[in-house]
Structure 1
Amino acid sequence: MMDPTAYALVATDLDGTLLRGDDTVSDRSLAALTRVTGSGARHLVVTGRPAPRVRPLLADLGCKGLAVCGQGAQLYDARADRLLWSVTLDRELAETALGKIEAEVGQVYAAVDQDGVDGLTLIEPGYLMPHPTLPAVRVGRREDLWSEPISKVLLRHPDLSDDELAATARAVVGSLATVTMSGPGTVELQPCGITKATGLALAAAQLGLSPEQTIAFGDMPNDIPMFDWADRGVAMANAHPELRAVADEVTLSNEDDGIAVVLERLYGR
């Protein structure tokens, strides 16, 4: 039986949170998550990665249920290998948003995640993948990015920091898209109004669970809406200052089993 003081839903980000720098999960963290599910609680991955880039990790974690992907734009059913829900970013709006950003800061380099369980990540000339282990297809020109429906656009600037690029993008994009910052070198445009919180809320409703029953773990500003939604938000020691400022608790880093430390306290060792 689950301890009545523990949470029925444990929502974890992946990069910089559950995953170590080499994209693996430690044995201690895996054991802690096994205790969570063994107690009757649910573990839910809530990540900025699109569904196709999450499938291998879910298999490694033994997750056979729901996962929130694409910054909340996709609700993925791992058992059925299908999207239960997805929202795409209008490609004309995306082009307009890019034009507004470049009018302020000069040339940016862009990539897109295509919609669907088999969608590709396309990168234009000059774009460098922040995660070199993730597969991507280089296209010859920006126009090629818009060949299929997309879930989001990823941006990099040759000189500006992520914080500077995100701040400028938010100032000029307005209602064309939601601007998020999800990791080093990862400023993103996604459908307006879509955040990790919208995806988490949808998944929790499917599971019959509420915000009051949820604890969430993250490391970047894109996790702020998830922390606002959940009863308790736990930031990693390596988290961005904006997330640490709104967290209910700060644990150890992703390299030091910060998630496991908290889960062992709640669910036992």
Structure 2
Amino acid sequence: MAAPIAYSLIATDLDGTLLRGDDTLSDRSLAALARVADAGAQHLVVTGRPAPRVRPLLDDLGATGLAVCGQGAQVYDAGADRLLWSITLDRELAETALGKIEAEVGQVYAAVDQDGVDGLTLIEPGYLMPHPTLPAVRVDRRDDLWGEPISKVLLRHPHLSDDELAGTARSVVGSLATVTMSGPGTVELQPCGITKATGLALAAEHLGLRPADTIAFGDMPNDIPMFDWAARGVAMANAHPELKAVADEVTLSNEDDGIAVVLERLLGGAAQYGPLTLSIEP
């Protein structure tokens, strides 16, 4: 078995963090994760994607453990293909929140992730998927979004930036929902008080692990609660400035195997990949 690693739990976001822009993992990242497993540490995916959109990736990884999905609203058991825990966003509150946002900024385009291991992503007319590789079902009208329980609402505005839309949404939504920004073109409403840290804490407890055992990797403001919970937070070079501001460390980008760089260092380096270079935030 490899030498012990400093952290027993490696929590990684997916988009913009572990995954490259084409939704693949590099051989170097896969090798680093394999070495982590050999050292006795757990790798936990913590993502905004709902469980059905994560399952194919976990299959590719051969992962049979837990994953935190839906911005922390779901704890998914990949081996059993079931949700150990989930919380839904009240659909009436979601509609009310959406109305308040549109009263401030004009029309937005909405989508929803349905709850459950087989839940669909539904998109209303005008909504463009920020990740075109992820499957979605287009509905005829907004009312059709609310037919089944949902874990979150995704919003896009035709003109406002993500930061502008998220800022306005936070100012008007109040306690109706939690507003997050998880990637380009991805402002979301989720159950009030639910963040990635919520699901991460539940999954870690199930595994018998603590914040002190955890190093977390991310790239967007929705990863801030996860960084606050974990002992160490590592932002990617391509990360949003808000996340870099609270990170303990900034590594290389997702395209340059930034996670692998840090894991190799923690495991004692990997000469076949050359020198390890990263910047440490003060």
Aligned: 1:9 with 2:9: yes
Q: Does 1:83 align with 2:83?
A: yes
AA partner of residue 238 (structure 2): N
Offset from partner CA, 1:55-107 (integer Å, 9 cap, x none): 00011122110000000000000000000000000000000000000000000
1:101 paired residue number: 101
Q: Does 1:54 align with 2:58?
A: no
Q: Relative to structure 1, is the Cα distance of residues 234 and 177 closer, same or farther in structure 2, using a 3 angstrom cutoff?
A: same
Aligned position for 1:194: 194
* Separation in structure 1 between the aligned mates of residue 62 and residue 214 of structure 2, nearest angstrom: 20
SS at match of 1:111: strand
The amino acid that maps onto 2:123 is I
CA distance in 2, matches of 1:246, 1:36: 25
The answer for the alignment partner of 1:264 in structure 2 is 264
Distance (whole Å) between structure 2 residues aligned to residue 122 and residue 133 of structure 1: 15
Q: Partner letter of residue 150 of structure 2?
A: I
2:5 and 2:41 in contact (8 A); partners too: no
- Counterpart of 2:150 in structure 1 is 150
Q: Is the 8 A contact 1:113 1:152 kept in 2?
A: yes
Specify the alignment match of 1:121 in structure 2: 121
Are 1:73 and 2:73 an aligned pair?
A: yes
Cα separation, 1, equivalents of 2:217 and 2:83: 23
Tell whether the 8 Å contact from 2:5 to 2:39 is kept in structure 1 after alignment. no
Percent identity among equivalent residues? Answer: 88
- Normalised to the residue count of structure 2, the TM-score between the two structures is 0.94
1:176 corresponds in structure 2 to 176
1:141 maps to which residue? 141
State the secondary structure of the residue aligned to 2:206: helix
Letter paired with 2:70: G
C-alpha contact 2:4 2:40 (8 A) present in aligned 1: no
Please give the TM-score of this superposition, normalised by the length of structure 1: 0.99
The CA deviation at 1:5 is 5.8
Contact in 2 for aligned 1:235/1:243 (Cα 8 Å): yes
Does the 8 Å contact 1:9/1:214 carry over to 2? yes
The residue type paired with residue 83 of structure 2 is L
Partner secondary structure for residue 204 of structure 1: helix
Partner of 1:29: 29
Q: Distance in 2 between matches of 1:4 and 1:58?
A: 24
2:84 is paired with a residue of what secondary structure? strand
User: Take 2:263 and 2:99, find their aligned partners in 1: how far apart are those partners?
Assistant: 45
**Are the equivalent residues in 2 in contact too, given 1:2–1:41 (CA < 8 A)?**
no
Structure 2 residues without counterparts, runs of 5 or longer: 271-282
**1:163 maps to which residue?**
163
Code of the residue aligned with 1:133 in structure 2: it is T
Where does structure 1 lack aligned partners over 5 or more consecutive residues?
Answer: none
- Cα 1:135–1:80 shift into 2, 3 Å: same
Q: Which residue of 2 aligns with 1:131?
A: 131
Secondary structure in 2 aligned to 1:10? strand
SS at match of 2:224: helix
Aligned ranges 1:205-224 → 2 under 5 Å: 205-224=205-224
Identify which range, 54-63 or 255-264, moves more after superposition.
Answer: 54-63
Code of the aligned partner of 1:39: A
Offset of 1:6 from its aligned partner? 1.1
Aligned partners of 2:217 and 2:234 also within 8 Å: yes
CA–CA distance in structure 2, aligned partners of residues 210 and 107 of structure 1: 43
- Matching residue of 1:43: 43
3-state SS of paired residue (2:134) = coil
- Offset, 1:3: 4.6
Runs of 4+ in 1 over 4 A off after TM superposition: 1-5
**Counterparts of 1:114 and 1:154 in 2: how far apart (Å)?**
11
Q: Secondary structure at the match of 2:225?
A: helix
Q: Distance in 1 between matches of 2:27 and 2:65?
A: 21
Give the whole-Å Cα distance in 1 for the aligned partners of 2:4 and 2:78. 28
Amino acid at match of 1:131: H
Tell me the secondary structure at the aligned position of residue 215 of structure 1. strand
Q: Distance between the aligned counterparts of 2:12 and 2:176, measured in 1?
A: 28
The range that moved more, 37-46 or 56-65, is 56-65
